[in-house]
A and B are shown apart, each in its own frame.
Chain A
Amino acid sequence: MFPTPIEKTPRSWQLTYQSLLPLALIMWLLPLIAVAIFSIKPASDFTQGNYWGMPSSFELFANYGQVFFNSDMPRYMLNSVFITVPTVIGAVALSCLAGFALGVYKFKSNIWIFFMFVAGNFVPFQILMVPVRDLTLDMGLYNTKTGLVLFHVAFQTGFCTLFMRNFIRALPYELIEAARVEGIAEWKIFWYVVIPLMKPAIAALSVLIFTFIWNDYFWAVVLTQGPESQPVTAGITSFNAQFRAAYHLMSAGSIVAALPPVLMFFLMQRHFIAGLTLGAVK
């Protein structure tokens, strides 16, 4: 293990390390801690210039109540859910199919199709912006959740296919060959042999894509406007315009908007990190 395990170091460094850890963490999360404190302060603290002192009263319920019952926030959150969940299902489904095809079969254009997905996944959004916006307008899907979902599914399929294909490549190929010898149809091999083995990959990808799509801002601005279809990332800017300079409310709003992916991360941490670090180890 590197660096030297702390148990094997001098007592003095052990103590320093133990006290350094919480300090470093507080420094690292300082901007966030500040926002969390902002969100429980009363409005009067800001007008009186008490930005960094203790909150003069504890207003957690009042501030968050305001966000939940007196703004468009719940609406934006719901929109985000209706955009994110179908995208996760769509992109994971498409990429399971494509990843299976690219991971199991040998045919000439295999690597080129794979590279097309990889390259497309790295492309800057801006080169797609004008045509995709036009396409969406032409299909009558501008400012709808469907329009956003369809695009997200297509774009995320690039990354997901890369992920799934590499995962399937690492599975023991003998299993598939054995199934073929038994004369099992190819789609049955996919459904009964490969899919059950892919469960960890499906879980990891779902959590990742959920976070990516929930946090998307660019496409939300390009393809939607207004509370009827905008997700929370775009909605938070209108929310902030509504409560300009009311830092306690803006902070509470931001925390609410950030919460679902944060919860997802802490609940599904193992899958999340397994997904992010796939390929980081040989």
Chain B
Amino acid sequence: MTDTPAQQVAAPQRSWYKRNEIAVTPWLFLAPAILFFAFYVIWPIYQSIAISFYDWDGLGEAQYVGMANYVELMDDSAFEVSLWNNLKWLLFYLLAIPGGLFIALFLNQTVTGIRIYKSLFFFPFVLSQVVVGLVFSWFYLPNEGLLNGVLGLVGLGPVNVLGDPTMATYGIIAAGLWPQTAYCMILYLTGLNAVDPEQIEAGRLDNAKGWKMLWYIIIPQLKPATFIAFVVTIIGALRSFDLISIMTNGGPFGQTRVLSFYMFEKALSEYGFRMGYGAAIAVVLFLIMLVFIAYFLWSMWSEEKRR
């Protein structure tokens, strides 16, 4: 194509946007997402931290109290219970990872109908936590529940899982493990699909079998799946709110509270609107999460650098 004189003249006077197109375009594309995200996520984090230094009922004037909310937390036995329960959640929720791997290994076959089995095993993950909570609270019912029906068959006495302060939290975690295990299972099924068959053959030639094969050849290759399983399980454990709210509402005697639930209770429930105190609890939860977030970001960053 030959340039007409008019185009040659126009070239040096291209618009500012044309000249800076490569530099400006990404910001134009990013603007809406960043604005939304800053407004609804980043700014509120800062605000919550600020509110945690105030005594505020959400309506009237906020009163600056410095560290008083945090000092009060130190002596709050309900806070201590919540913190311990969060730890239990973190620990036992991780069972979803070996559980998911186990089911994935069980289902990683090519018999007829296996696809339907896989999707039905995965199915609990699609249910909302509210429905899972309801289903399990009926499952646990002291007289009518299926659990006690089954226990009765083998001659074990009826247990009131959700009514027992020492058992209730574990009962809720078990309910949470149901969908979470399904999620880990699907991650591992995808991972197993991509395992290098040559390495397995090589392992077989070297007489690696069963556990040895699993531990030394399969699991190392499943590392990306394991990483994602860890991320989603830890986040899920620290976010546990729906199940507790539905199944026990924090009871019996507040023994199933976790930080996320206790915060909600303090800030927004019938026990009064203590926004500042609630925000302080949220900040503690945020700091715990921050440790994990920093670790996740660090792993992602080293991954990026390697590319």
Verify A130–B279 contact, CB threshold 8 A: yes
Verify A186–B187 contact, CB threshold 8 A: no
A280 to B230, CA, bound (A): 11
Residue among A31, A118, A132, A264 having the largest count of chain B Cβ atoms under 10 Å = A31
Verify B194–A282 contact, CB threshold 8 A: yes
A28 within 8 A of B: yes
Verify B109–A107 contact, CB threshold 8 A: no
Q: Please provide the chain B residues from 94 to 144 with a CB less than 8 Å away from any CB of chain A in the complex.
A: 105-106, 108-111, 117, 119-124, 126-131, 134-136, 138-139, 144
* B-chain residues with CB within 8 Å of residue A280 when the two chains form the complex: 187, 190-191, 224-225, 228
Looking at the assembled complex, report how far the CB atom of A206 sits from the nearest CB atom of chain B, in whole angstroms: 15
Pick 11 A–B contacts, CB within 8 A, sort by A. A2-B105, A17-B109, A32-B124, A34-B135, A105-B25, A131-B47, A150-B36, A217-B241, A236-B130, A258-B131, A264-B126
Verify B135–A101 contact, CB threshold 8 A: no
* A-chain residues with CB within 8 Å of residue B286 when the two chains form the complex: 123-124, 126-127
* B-chain residues with CB within 8 Å of residue A128 when the two chains form the complex: 40-41, 44-45, 48
Verify B44–A217 contact, CB threshold 8 A: no
A-B contact count (CB 8 A): 286
Verify B283–A101 contact, CB threshold 8 A: no
Q: Please provide the chain A residues from 112 to 168 with a CB less than 8 Å away from any CB of chain B in the complex.
A: 113, 115-120, 122-135, 150-151, 153-155, 157-158, 161
A101-B26, A130-B267 known; A5-B47 Cβ under 8 A: no
Within the complex, which residue of B120, B136, B275 is in contact with A31, where a contact is CB–CB below 8 Å?
Answer: B136
Within the complex, which residue of B23, B41, B111, B122 is in contact with A158, where a contact is CB–CB below 8 Å?
Answer: B41
Closest chain B residue to A250, Cβ basis: B134
Looking at the assembled complex, report how far the CB atom of B50 sits from the nearest CB atom of chain A, in whole angstroms: 9
Within the complex, which residue of B106, B130, B228 is in contact with A279, where a contact is CB–CB below 8 Å?
Answer: B228
Q: How would you classify the secondary structure of chain B's contact residues: helix, strand, loop or mixed?
A: helix
Closest chain A residue to B109, Cβ basis: A6
Give the size of the chain B interface in residues (CB under 8 angstroms).
100
A181 within 8 A of B: no
Q: Mark B253-295, 1 if CB is under 8 A from A, else 0.
A: 0000001100110011000000100110111011001001100
Verify B289–A52 contact, CB threshold 8 A: no
B92 within 8 A of A: no
Verify B301–A129 contact, CB threshold 8 A: no
* A-chain residues with CB within 8 Å of residue B128 when the two chains form the complex: 214-217, 233, 257-258, 261
A266 within 8 A of B: yes
Verify B111–A6 contact, CB threshold 8 A: yes
Verify A31–B129 contact, CB threshold 8 A: no
Verify B224–A107 contact, CB threshold 8 A: no
A31 to B44, CA, bound (A): 39
Within the complex, which residue of A28, A123, A161 is in contact with B45, where a contact is CB–CB below 8 Å?
Answer: A123
Verify B27–A124 contact, CB threshold 8 A: no
Verify B108–A1 contact, CB threshold 8 A: yes
Given contacts A126-B282, A236-B134, A262-B123, 17 further A-B contacts (CB under 8 A): A2-B192, A3-B105, A21-B111, A24-B106, A30-B146, A98-B33, A101-B30, A104-B26, A107-B26, A113-B30, A117-B33, A127-B283, A128-B45, A151-B40, A154-B39, A217-B128, A257-B128
Residue among A2, A7, A98, A185 having the largest count of chain B Cβ atoms under 10 Å = A2
Q: Please provide the chain B residues from 19 to 40 with a CB less than 8 Å away from any CB of chain A in the complex.
A: 21-23, 25-27, 29-30, 32-34, 36-37, 39-40
Within the complex, which residue of A105, A222, A237, A276 is in contact with B246, where a contact is CB–CB below 8 Å?
Answer: A237
Looking at the assembled complex, report how far the CB atom of A147 sits from the nearest CB atom of chain B, in whole angstroms: 11
A190 within 8 A of B: yes
Looking at the assembled complex, report how far the CB atom of B174 sits from the nearest CB atom of chain A, in whole angstroms: 10
Verify B130–A217 contact, CB threshold 8 A: yes
Residue among B29, B58, B241 having the largest count of chain A Cβ atoms under 10 Å = B29
Verify A130–B282 contact, CB threshold 8 A: yes
Verify A107–B296 contact, CB threshold 8 A: no
Q: Mark A92-106, 1 if CB is under 8 A from B, else 0.
A: 001101101110110
Closest chain B residue to A281, Cβ basis: B194
A2-B192, A38-B138, A122-B293 known; A17-B183 Cβ under 8 A: no
Verify B130–A129 contact, CB threshold 8 A: no
Verify A157–B37 contact, CB threshold 8 A: yes
Q: Please provide the chain B residues from 209 to 226 with a CB less than 8 Å away from any CB of chain A in the complex.
A: 213-214, 217-218, 224-225
